[in-house]
Amino acid sequence: MSPGLRLRVSLSCQTLEVLDGEGRVLRRYPVSTAAKGAGELQGSFQTPRGRHRVRAKIGAGCPLGTVFSGRRPTGEIWTPELEAAHPGRDWILTRILWLSGCEPGFNRLGCVDTMRRYIYIHGTADTAPLGQPLSHGCIRMGNRDIMELFDLIPVYTPVDIVES
């Protein structure tokens, strides 16, 4: 991939696009953003808008379906049986791209800080629908898609989260 990649998450379309330096779409993935819509406040369970960066990449080398808790692998691999045994669990799987806001007072610092809110782009259960807002604030992707994206982009890749 060429340098100058950036990501664009559309809340209305429920997609994540990988764009090159000239704005051409290189990849488009279905995602699931917050069920409660867009918002920046701590505790809102909403997806923050605006300019962000991938601050950390977590999970390199982990198997597909690795379960994370507190950004650490639990030793579990997601299966439908594991999901059935833990109803209501928010599955953070395969890879984590931890986001940091770039706009002080809007999505950075204080009670609107994206990184302190632990907002990620991450894999989700195979049974979880994509293309509709259902998350607790994070941006959920299919596991194979997040693996591909993780390998495509470096840390500090810009991420724009937009409503349109």
pLDDT tens digits along 98-138: 999 999 999 999 999 999 999 999 999 999 999 999 999 99
DSSP β-bridge partners for residue 96: 58, 122
Instruction: Answer whether residue 93 is part of any domain.
Output: yes
pTM: 0.96
pLDDT tens digits along 2-26: 469 999 999 999 999 999 999 999 9
Instruction: Answer whether residue 88 is part of any domain.
Output: yes
As a whole number of angstroms, the distance between CA 130 and CA 147 comes to: 16
Instruction: Answer whether residue 3 is part of any domain.
Output: no
Which tokens go with 117? 């809110």
Model confidence at 90, in pLDDT bands (50, 70, 90)? very high
As a whole number of angstroms, the distance between CA 42 and CA 38 comes to: 12
Domain enclosing residue 111, as ranges: 32-155
Instruction: Answer whether residue 23 is part of any domain.
Output: no
Instruction: Answer whether residue 79 is part of any domain.
Output: yes
Using DSSP bridges, classify how beta strands 50-58 and 25-32 pair: parallel, antiparallel or unpaired: unpaired
Instruction: Answer whether residue 2 is part of any domain.
Output: no
Q: What is the number of structural domains in the chain?
A: 1
Instruction: Answer whether residue 147 is part of any domain.
Output: yes
Spatial neighbors of 45 by CB under 8 A, at least 6 apart, are: 34, 35, 36, 136, 137
Instruction: Answer whether residue 143 is part of any domain.
Output: yes
